[in-house]
Amino acid sequence: MKQKENQLKAFLQKGHLHYMPGVSVDNVIFGFHENQLKVLLLQANTGKFWMLPGGFVQKNEHIDEAAARVLQTRTGLDNIFLQQFHTFGQPRRSSNKVLIETFHSLEVPFDEDHWLLQRFVSIGYYALVEYDKVHPEPDELSRTCTWHDLDRLPSLLLDHKDIIMKALEELRLRLNYQPVGYNLLPEQFTMKNLQSIYETLLGRELDRANFSRKILSFGILDRKRKQFSGGAHKAPFLYSFNKKKYFRALEKGLGRDF
Amino acid sequence: MKQKENQLKAFLQKGHLHYMPGVSVDNVIFGFHENQLKVLLLQANTGKFWMLPGGFVQKNEHIDEAAARVLQTRTGLDNIFLQQFHTFGQPRRSSNKVLIETFHSLEVPFDEDHWLLQRFVSIGYYALVEYDKVHPEPDELSRTCTWHDLDRLPSLLLDHKDIIMKALEELRLRLNYQPVGYNLLPEQFTMKNLQSIYETLLGRELDRANFSRKILSFGILDRKRKQFSGGAHKAPFLYSFNKKKYFRALEKGLGRDF
DNA sequence: TACTATTGTGTCATATTGACTCATTAATAC
DNA sequence: GTATTAATGAGTCAATATGACACAATAGTA
């Protein structure tokens, strides 16, 4: 892992040439597995704290691109809908403990003015991705990258817990306007699958029949002839998202205005 | 105006000691006058372009505080609900024309590395304020500060038009969850006044009777005995916001969930 | 005093929502 | 093979919300 170490060193020493100062991006990446909502987290090389997959904004890069790049490098996923939901800017957001330990362990000289030790404002994005398609990949500063149950989060760095909670809050609000599920489910899925997602995101149970009626009324699903089998009991229909209608709804909203 | 000039010089030369690099705040300040929705804009000292009242984030200041400070200095208003709605981060947001002209006119030496000439990411906030209470105050870089009709905006700097449009879009979405009007209307007002605001914000007409029914169902209004008179025809009731219930609704939402 | 424009209130048809029921059916147990 | 079981698709019905409209009341004006 000499190579990774060298990359990290270069990043620490020359990052200020490539990245904007003071601005970072943090992604709350939601996945869904065994009827549980999961969040992708990294564990710092030094110390026990976990953190959100985040990164910095290249000097000539759109912040949305930066978020997409972070998502791509951590999960291997491309072309995923990322929603910017809030920017976090308390004055003492940054704790430099992890960084300073890293400097020491790599024997990289640094001073107080080092770009990474300054205050950062972080722009939060969330994404909903298909659990099975993700290949979690730690970054230079972390040793692990794994999923965590949303209701059993480990100790998190800084305000990262707040960021996750805010993401969930905003996501719940947007559930009324934006369809959900496209990157979260496989190509074909049952109504029950989709309902589970909504239930988990909302944190409460929904009536089966009413849910189905409502979702179908959005007109974003195509029903397949093929039936799912393998589970016990009656075979449910399989559905897929009508990509065209789904993305129109994503842009134009689901039409629940004042 | 020698003093203002000196302030500006100091800001240009020493700003980097006090403010975060690369991060700014822009406020979309909505007012309501003669049944028109207005936005407060500044006109640059040099050139004809108008811009949003904005500013920088002090090194030890919460971004929300920075937005509140900008609002306070431009309008004299304090304690106003400011909603962060989006962060704008295209790579070529900043046009340095205005700045460079300013450097020249003040004979302040500068080079490419000057902190203000770097790329900035801007955090957008909107506020709804009482038109008559505002005392518009230009900043160091501008010569005027006045209201503009939302549907007759002048030529705006950079992406400031996009910012205004996005603010309106987000505001419209939030109209379903958040009550509106508290800082927009005087202490007492008629149902018609409030309806006009909603109509203007939404850009369409609403049924009088249905609007009244719906707003009253939120339970955030107190009806006064006193009747408004002076206008022609039947005297309407006067209402005021029940501050306690209003702010509970602002936090907890108006209860229109999935 | 009559007229007019606007307001408070009420009605009614329609749409949406929440809580159920019931027949159907795929896998499992017998 | 047949009965059992549990989940599914479809449907019902009352409660509620919404959109469109009607009508009497009334403050100023003619």
Residue A130 is part of a domain; what is its CATH number? 3.90.79.10
Q: Is strand D less than 7 A from the beta carbon of B176? A: no
Greater confidence, B58 or A14?
B58
Tell me what pLDDT residue A74 has. 96
Are residues B122 and B155 located together in one domain of the fold? yes
Question: Is A257 a member of any domain?
Answer: no
- The residue in chain A having the minimum alpha-carbon distance to the alpha carbon of residue B64 is A89
d(CA A188, CA A235): 14
Q: Is B112 on the interface with A (CB under 8 A)?
A: no
Cα radius of gyration rounded to whole Å, chain B: 20
Greater confidence, B126 or B107?
B126
Question: Is A148 a member of any domain?
Answer: yes
Asked if B56 contacts B11 with a C-beta cutoff of 8 angstroms, the reply is no
pLDDT at B157 over 70: yes
Distance in Å from C11's C1' to B212's CA comes to 16
Asked if A218 contacts A226 with a C-beta cutoff of 8 angstroms, the reply is no
Are residues A68 and A142 located together in one domain of the fold? yes
Are residues B216 and B133 located together in one domain of the fold? no
Average pLDDT (B17-24) is: 95
Are residues B215 and B132 located together in one domain of the fold? no
Residues 6+ apart with CB under 8 A from B66: A89, B25, B55, B56, B57, B58
Are residues A73 and A113 located together in one domain of the fold? yes
Say yes or no for a CB contact (<8 Å) between B176 and A64: no
Are residues B10 and B90 located together in one domain of the fold? yes
Tell me what pLDDT residue B194 has. 96
The ranges of chain A with pLDDT < 50 are none
Average pLDDT (B190-197) is: 95
d(CA A238, CA B61): 52
CA atoms within 13 A on the CB side of A135: 5
Instruction: Choose the final residue of a domain: B173, B203, B230.
Output: B173
Asked if B250 contacts B178 with a C-beta cutoff of 8 angstroms, the reply is yes
Task: Categorize the per-residue pLDDT at B231 as very low, low, confident or very high, splitting at 50, 70 and 90.
Answer: confident
pLDDT tens digits, one per residue of B166-191: 999 999 999 999 999 999 999 999 99
User: Quick check: helix, strand or coil at residue A44?
Assistant: strand
Q: Average model confidence (pLDDT) for chain B?
A: 91
Number of separate domains in chain A: 2
Are residues A24 and A56 located together in one domain of the fold? yes
Measured CA to C1', the nucleotide nearest A205 is C18
Residue A210: strand pairing partners? none
Are residues A142 and A195 located together in one domain of the fold? no
pLDDT at B13 over 70: yes
CA-to-CA dists, residue A198 to A192, A212, B151, angstroms: 10, 11, 39
Say yes or no for a CB contact (<8 Å) between A121 and B57: yes
Are residues A196 and A103 located together in one domain of the fold? no
Question: Is A220 a member of any domain?
Answer: yes
Are residues A94 and A56 located together in one domain of the fold? yes
* Minimum-distance CB partner of A121 among B23, B198, B256: B23
Are residues B12 and B127 located together in one domain of the fold? yes
Measured CA to C1', the nucleotide nearest A255 is C16
- Per-state percent for chain A, helix, strand, coil, to nearest 5: 35, 25, 35
User: Quick check: helix, strand or coil at residue B12?
Assistant: helix
Contacts of A86 in chain B (CB under 8 A): 84
**Which of the 8 DSSP states describes residue B56?**
E
Residue-range definition of the domain harbouring residue A97? 2-174
Kindly report the backbone phi and psi dihedral angles of residue A68, in degrees, each rounded to the nearest multiple of 5, phi listed first: -65, -40
